[in-house]
């Protein structure tokens, strides 16, 4: 039997086009089973009562009301309206209601909880599709939560949208200004969407009275700036995934593929448990009822026979016959066709010679194509190098006299070789801004950071940062070795730090309890020294903008190394603050910077104060285990200080090993770093000097204040958030805001 080349591809096209027709023919043997409900086809294993595989696949066909022109299908006995069933992909399209939160004319809020899939529906065979849906929030000064359950654990995430006027709405996409859109995880059996608003102001409510939140099928929602005023729809399409995993006693005895009927096989999908069925190659139809053979000989486009009438259909395939007196496979194109059995020697040689010539021609063409492809790749690399500021950076680096201080410009091939072609096994970290790979260059371990996106409007800023950071020679700052500009997004190469992050050692039950107080204090001094150097002594002043324990690496001697300058800003010597896009991590962000959008060196001081609290207490920066008012560590610390409970909240090892006056001094310094007004905070150089004095025991008596002169509002996350990253502000042309839940860190 000869297998037709290209048959699989054509057959798959036939399956996709005819999948709803063939099952209907198979269901003719079930005379009392309707094949449609309204305009929706109902293929088995779905069906009305008595026609479905079991209750999980029950479809209720009914009119929504007396005015409905025709009945609509609903899933089981629920109110979930079904709009399409795809047995090939294992998908179910439904209409999903919008959750909204509105302000009335008297500014009293109302919330409409309509979008709920709850576990009480017992739809064990259905999950929300990750690849086909997006969680979407529309509104200004709006945010919403998605709570769900899947893979035997709860899941929560959120999305936030910020805009002060209709002119600030970014109309091209859901980029965070007027509309926010994020992905959801695999395997959610339930999803509960709740909409909120915050910082409500009358001018915003006039053009945007409501927050709208919903899960929508990817590509089925096109954002318009008019939607912040009102969304005309109250429902959007959403895709569920389904599979078979509810075995009957008979099916269990027959095996896992018992639901797959004649000429079909079972396979296990990636995103849901259980299995699905497909028709064997060469067959079409409904695999849950039985698949029928495709007669390729009836359609010349499906067979490759030299003579179509010589095509012989076989079960699941076909064969091409040669006329009497001829031989070989009878296939055109890549086949050998039909050749006369008795050929003259000269003709045979001519055929052989022609074949060799054609083969050589193909080889030459293949080599030429490879050369063209290689040239295109080189041209693309050169274009990326130019677009990423390579010529300017090379010129700047040439001004550095000592070659030891220069950042090296690596080729893409060098970094591919160093990371085994960016193999996933070499990934050592993932974050909101990119992926970090471990690699080996010149027999030395390096860390290679690959950013997710790069705003090419900021290329000049990026080039300046690489140039300046390559000159920072400080023992407590991760050394920038070089970069690669041949890729669409530039790659940065740093020295590799072996002992993970300060966050890991604080939060890990084993590592955290093993970190002595002296080591904690030493890490605080070294981190403060690095930040003070960047603020005051570097060639150009640098504000880190994302100081947190996760960005403080430790080597094997527990020496601190400040890292991750992906959102850092260079500050001209004649400026004290910068209007900028607010970026950072909730719990660490300076509240004054968050509310004003004005960045200065005191913003790093606030974040460092939170790191001091982590070193003192070992507590999480954001924790839902604490009362609402104390969810942020800063708020928890301030309230504990006011109540004179400092030594109750300290980590056990700090409390047992530390000198009380020394601990009081660090706590009082942390409190000053956390002052709401930046002008009242110390500089990083002052912080470093005080910590050094405390470490050597110069401060013999410190009074811990419990009466505070000012109320210090502290930035905290929304309820139920464990850790969030935020990006908002007026200097972004996209004016975007994003909340990313990082619960697994």
Residues taking part in catalysis: 546
Annotated binding site for ATP: 450
Helix ranges restricted to H, 479-542: 502-507, 509-514, 517-532
Q: How far is CA 448 from CA 160, 260, 387, 441, 452, in A?
A: 31, 48, 20, 10, 13
Annotated binding site: 450
Angle at which helices 390-397 and 345-387 pack, to 10 degrees? Answer: 60
**Cβ partners under 8 Å of residue 358, min gap 6:** none
Distance from C-alpha of 335 to C-alpha of 310, rounded to nearest angstrom = 15
| R_g of the chain, CA atoms, integer Å | 33
Distance from C-alpha of 269 to C-alpha of 243, rounded to nearest angstrom = 8
SS3 string of 691-736?
HHHHHCCCCCCCCCCCCCCCCCCCCCCCCCCCCEEEEECCCCCCCC
Q: Are 440 and 446 in contact (CB under 8 A)?
A: yes
Residue with tokens 């990371």: 419
**DSSP symbols for 656-686:** HHS-HHHHHHHHHHHHHHT-SSGGGSPPHHH
What six digits make up the tokens of 55? 């209750």
The count of other CB atoms within 10 Å of the CB of residue 106 is 5
Q: Are 729 and 582 in contact (CB under 8 A)?
A: yes
Closest CA to 687 of 587, 588, 586, 612: 612
Residue 637: helix, strand or coil by DSSP? helix
What six digits make up the tokens of 280? 């064997």
The residues with which 493 forms a beta bridge, in sequence order, are: 448, 482
Q: How far is CA 51 from CA 35, 56, 75, 234, 605, in A?
A: 10, 12, 14, 32, 68
Q: Are 587 and 634 in contact (CB under 8 A)?
A: yes
The count of other CB atoms within 10 Å of the CB of residue 539 is 11
Q: Is the dihedral of CA 225, 231, 233, 239 positive or negative?
A: positive
Distance from C-alpha of 181 to C-alpha of 124, rounded to nearest angstrom = 27
Q: Is the dihedral of CA 635, 640, 642, 647 positive or negative?
A: negative
Closest CA to 37 of 85, 13, 71: 71
Residue 632: helix, strand or coil by DSSP? strand
Closest CA to 198 of 183, 189, 184, 208: 208
Q: Are 447 and 437 in contact (CB under 8 A)?
A: yes
- Percent helix, strand and coil across the chain, each to the nearest 5: 35, 25, 40
Q: Which residues of 637-658 are buried (b: 16+ CB within 10 A; e: fewer)?
A: bbbbbeeeebeebbbebbbeeb
Residue 113: how many CA atoms within 13 Å on its side-chain side?
8
């Amino acid at each position: 039997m000869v297998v037709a080349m290209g048959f699989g591809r054509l057959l798959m096209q036939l399956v996709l086009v005819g999948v709803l027709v063939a099952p209907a023919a198979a269901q003719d043997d079930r005379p009392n089973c309707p094949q449609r409900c309204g305009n929706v086809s109902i293929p088995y294993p779905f069906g009305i009562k008595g026609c479905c595989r079991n209750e999980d696949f029950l479809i209720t066909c009914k009119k929504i009301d007396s005015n409905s022109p025709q009945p609509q299908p609903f899933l089981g006995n629920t109110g979930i309206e079904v709009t399409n069933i795809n047995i090939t992909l294992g998908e179910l399209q439904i209409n999903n209601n919008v959750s909204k939160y509105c302000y009335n004319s008297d500014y009293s809020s109302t919330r409409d909880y309509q979008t709920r899939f709850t576990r009480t529906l017992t739809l064990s065979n259905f999950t929300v599709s990750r690849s086909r849906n997006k969680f979407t929030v529309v509104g200004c000064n709006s945010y919403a939560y998605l709570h769900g359950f899947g893979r035997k654990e709860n899941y929560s995430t959120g999305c936030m949208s910020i805009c002060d006027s209709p002119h600030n709405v970014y109309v091209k996409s859901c980029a965070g200004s007027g509309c926010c859109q994020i992905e959801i995880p695999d395997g959610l059996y339930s999803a509960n969407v709740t909409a909120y608003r915050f910082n409500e102001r009358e001018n915003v409510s006039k053009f945007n009275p409501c927050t709208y939140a919903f899960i929508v099928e990817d590509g089925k929602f096109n954002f318009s700036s008019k939607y912040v005023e009102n969304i005309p729809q109250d429902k959007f399409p959403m895709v569920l995934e389904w599979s078979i995993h509810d075995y009957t006693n008979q099916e269990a005895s027959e095996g896992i593929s018992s639901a797959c009927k004649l000429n079909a096989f079972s396979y296990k999908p990636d995103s849901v448990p259980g299995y699905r069925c497909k028709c064997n190659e060469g067959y079409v139809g409904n695999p849950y009822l039985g698949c029928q053979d495709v007669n390729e000989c009836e359609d010349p486009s499906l067979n490759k026979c030299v003579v179509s009438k010589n095509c012989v259909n076989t079960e699941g395939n076909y064969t091409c016959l040669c006329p009497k007196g001829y031989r070989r496979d009878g296939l055109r194109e890549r086949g050998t066709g039909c050749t006369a059995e008795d050929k003259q020697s000269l003709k045979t040689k001519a055929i052989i010679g022609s074949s060799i010539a054609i083969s050589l021609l193909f080889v030459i063409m293949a080599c030429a194509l490879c050369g063209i492809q290689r040239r295109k790749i080189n041209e693309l690399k050169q274009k990326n190098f130019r677009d990423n500021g390579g010529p300017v950076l090379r010129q700047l680096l040439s001004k550095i006299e000592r070659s030891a201080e220069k950042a090296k410009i690596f080729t893409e091939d060098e970094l591919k070789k160093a990371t085994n072609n960016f193999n996933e096994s070499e990934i050592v970290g993932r974050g909101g801004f990119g992926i970090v790979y471990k690699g080996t260059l010149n027999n030395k371990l390096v860390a290679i950071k690959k950013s997710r996106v790069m705003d090419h409007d900021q290329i000049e800023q990026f080039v300046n940062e690489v140039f300046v950071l390559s000159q920072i020679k400080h023992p407590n700052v991760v050394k920038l070795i070089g970069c690669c500009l041949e890729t669409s997004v530039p790659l940065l190469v740093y020295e590799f730090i072996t002992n993970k992050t300060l966050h890991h050692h604080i939060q890990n039950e084993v590592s955290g309890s093993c970190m002595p107080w002296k080591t904690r204090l030493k890490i605080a001094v070294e981190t403060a020294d690095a930040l003070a150097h960047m603020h005051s002594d570097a060639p150009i002043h640098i504000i880190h903008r994302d100081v947190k324990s996760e960005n403080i690496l430790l080597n094997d001697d527990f020496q601190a190394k400040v890292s991750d300058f992906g959102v850092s800003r260079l500050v001209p010597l004649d400026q004290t603050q910068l209007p900028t896009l607010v970026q950072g991590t909730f719990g660490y962000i300076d509240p004054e910077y968050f509310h004003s959008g004005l960045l200065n060196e005191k913003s790093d001081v606030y974040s460092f104060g939170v790191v001091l609290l982590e070193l003192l207490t070992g507590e999480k920066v954001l924790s839902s285990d604490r009362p609402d008012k104390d969810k942020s560590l800063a708020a928890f610390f301030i309230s504990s200080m006011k109540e004179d409970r400092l030594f109750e909240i300290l980590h056990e090892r700090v409390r047992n090993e530390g000198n009380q006056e020394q601990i009081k001094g660090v706590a009082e310094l942390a409190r000053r770093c956390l002052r709401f007004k930046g002008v009242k905070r110390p500089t990083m150089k002052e912080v470093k000097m005080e910590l050094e004095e405390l470490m050597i025991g110069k401060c013999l008596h410190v009074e811990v204040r419990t009466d505070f002169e000012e109320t210090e509002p502290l930035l905290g996350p929304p309820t139920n958030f464990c850790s969030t990253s935020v990006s908002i502000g007026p200097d972004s042309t996209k004016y975007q805001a994003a909340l990313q839940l990082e619960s697994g860190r």
